[in-house]
Structure 1
Amino acid sequence: MEQVSETFTVDLRRLTVLRELRRRGSLARTAEALHLTPSAVSQQLAALAREMGVPLTERDGRGVRLTGQARVLLAHADLIAAQLERARTDLAAYDGGGRGTVRVGCFSSGILGLLPDALTALAGRLPQVRIDVVEAEPPDLFTALDAGQVDLAVAIDFAAAPPHTDRRYHRLDLLRDVLDLALPAGHRLAGGGPVDLRELAGEPWIIGDPASCCGAVARSVCAAAGFTPDVRHAVDDWGALAALVEAGRGVALVPRLVRPLYDRRRLALLGTLGAQPSRNVFAAVRAGAEADPVLTAVRDQLRVTAAGLADSVPSSGRAGRP
């Protein structure tokens, strides 16, 4: 291919396509995430390759993979995106901030257990800022963050989430959300203390979709205990999961963020022997946006609210109506 011209220009939208291909790993999944056709994605990548004068993809069986030149370009693309965010932040600060709309993407149990108190506090702290919430999980949540469809992501660390070292994002750890064991009230272990998860290896389990954060974490906890759970019911809704446990249809791991949903149920919430399984909850903004005064206020309030939850959540034990 031709060498890069000294006066070359780059279409930032095409860089977004390349960044998404890195995340998704295939043209089809990239197209689905960006609401494009695979042909349109290929055309965008081909046009970017012509702009750069270097190959960006190569065939890999029936799919494609990124070239070394593409990875070099992606490193610069991340820096460009961060610098544009800093420019936006500086412009917002110039006008004093304190106005506008912040869009927060968050996983379901975070919406249940973390956001309500934080949003109430922010309504008094930032009365002229509108905060919209959308339920989303990685990887779609971070695709939306990259595209500017959300301004702040609240997520759980698991395989589909960006690693701590991903410099596209500025992150803040918020909360260690402990997972308790939910058992039917009449279960043989319901009246005791902490349970060795291996005692439940032969039980029917209620676990979410393996692609979801909670489903993935629950499966990894069982794997760490030395068994593969017999998943009889694939349920992502926490209220529905509680109803199935109460009905004696299986056992489950539930995060303390949603514990209020279980307080009126006839079931037991118990700890586990050894280190309590947990999920790391974090907030992330695009690199370069961390100094935005409004986003800083939102992240600070999330941190304060999360700290209050960590201090107030009771230890696990018997729960439910008499």
Structure 2
Amino acid sequence: MFDSRHIRTFHEVVRTRSYSAAAQALGYTQPAISQQMKALEREVGTPLFTRVGRRLRLTEAGETLARHTQTILGSMSVAREQMAAIARLRTGLVRVCAFPSANATLVPEAMALLAVEHPGIRVELLEDEPPDSLRRVVQGESDVTLAFTYPGLREEVPGELVEIPLLEDQLTVLLPVGHPMARRRAVQLGDLAQERWIAGCLRCRTNFVHECAQLGFTPDIVFTTDDNLAVQALVAQGLGVAMMPGLTLSFLRRDKVRWRPLAPASRRQVSAYVLREHLRIPATARLLEALATVAGRRADPTERES
């Protein structure tokens, strides 16, 4: 790889066809210019100049390098500007991977906040459930991942990731309008042991079955889907009930479905995960700050009237 100082000096020598003139233009001594050109010739492995009287003439190798010098210096200038822009938050790219209910709530709110405060940052959005979403960060497919964990089913997080807790998401039960339990302020999971159930993604379903087992029953799961709107549609038609996270209440079909918090309360932890070294990247740090801000603003939906 070429030394950037040598390339700049070479460009000036080619322009002036003189070591002394190049030295004057760059503020070097003539011996320093000569030493740099000898070092560049060692790097390329062949002479770049010959002397014709008091003037310098480029060799064939020198002519070839000279044709590329302006492009090299231009690319270096652009690279420096882009790096400075990232540092100053004029631009930057952050790839975010999140689970569906976060992509419908936390992520859009954070992106809107970021667009106001740091409009030069570009966010690209992916969707995946944990643990696959965590692997995306480790494998370099995303820069930040939003994922959730359940207290009773805590899974090991890859050691290279930093976990940044955002909020505790309380679990609720979705019931069709007119269901007897919909008149209660809160519902005990055991009181629904005889119901038909609609289950969600693998991690949510595993936690749901685990909580039912803790209460001594095995749920009758008749449908399984990780599409939150499909779950609501099934509940609305009276085809079953479902245990759902509080984040999904933001887009609840309230004319057909009622929700009630679980008693005792059951929650999942929602966190952001990032490679430790990415915490130092300004655009990534600003996105994490925006996510923390919107998470802190969100009231627990189970504290509001259904």
Q: Does structure 2 retain, via aligned residues, the 8 Å contact 1:137–1:155?
A: yes
Q: In the superposition, relative to structure 1, how do residues 251 and 186 fare at CA in structure 2: closer, same or farther (>3 Å)? A: same
From 171, 176, 180, the counterpart of 2:172: 180
Aligned pairs (5 A) from 1:184-263: 184-209=176-201, 211=202, 213-263=203-253
Other structure's SS at 1:228 match: coil
State the Cα deviation string for residues 64-91 of structure 1 (Å, max 9, x = none).
xxxxxxxxxxxxxxxxxxxxxxxxxxx9
Pairwise CA RMSD: 2.4
Task: Find the counterpart in structure 2 of residue 306 from structure 1.
Answer: 295
CA distance in 1, matches of 2:136, 2:229: 27
Task: Find the counterpart in structure 1 of residue 156 from structure 2.
Answer: 163
Q: Kindly name which structure, 1 or 2, has the bigger radius of gyration based on alpha carbons.
A: 2
CA distance in 1, matches of 2:121, 2:262: 42
Q: In the superposition, relative to structure 1, how do residues 102 and 189 fare at CA in structure 2: closer, same or farther (>3 Å)? A: same
From 80, 102, 107, the counterpart of 2:94: 102
Q: Does structure 2 retain, via aligned residues, the 8 Å contact 1:207–1:215?
A: yes
State the Cα deviation string for residues 25-60 of structure 1 (Å, max 9, x = none).
xxxxxxxxxxxxxxxxxxxxxxxxxxxxxxxxxxxx
Q: Does structure 2 retain, via aligned residues, the 8 Å contact 1:154–1:283?
A: yes
Sequence identity percentage: 30
Segments of 5+ residues of structure 2 without an aligned counterpart are: 1-81
Name the amino acid aligned to 2:156: P
Name the amino acid aligned to 1:315: E
Other structure's SS at 1:289 match: helix
The Cα of 1:161 is off from its aligned counterpart by 7.8
Structure 1 ranges of 4+ moved more than 3 A: 91-95, 158-162
Q: Does structure 2 retain, via aligned residues, the 8 Å contact 1:138–1:161?
A: no
Task: Find the counterpart in structure 2 of residue 128 from structure 1.
Answer: 120
Q: In the superposition, relative to structure 1, how do residues 301 and 253 fare at CA in structure 2: closer, same or farther (>3 Å)? A: same
Other structure's SS at 1:226 match: coil
The Cα of 1:94 is off from its aligned counterpart by 9.5
**Structure-1-length-normalised TM-score:** 0.64
**Structure-2-length-normalised TM-score:** 0.67
CA distance in 1, matches of 2:252, 2:200: 17
The Cα of 1:92 is off from its aligned counterpart by 5.6
Q: In the superposition, relative to structure 1, how do residues 297 and 95 fare at CA in structure 2: closer, same or farther (>3 Å)? A: closer
The Cα of 1:167 is off from its aligned counterpart by 2.7
Task: Find the counterpart in structure 2 of residue 285 from structure 1.
Answer: 274
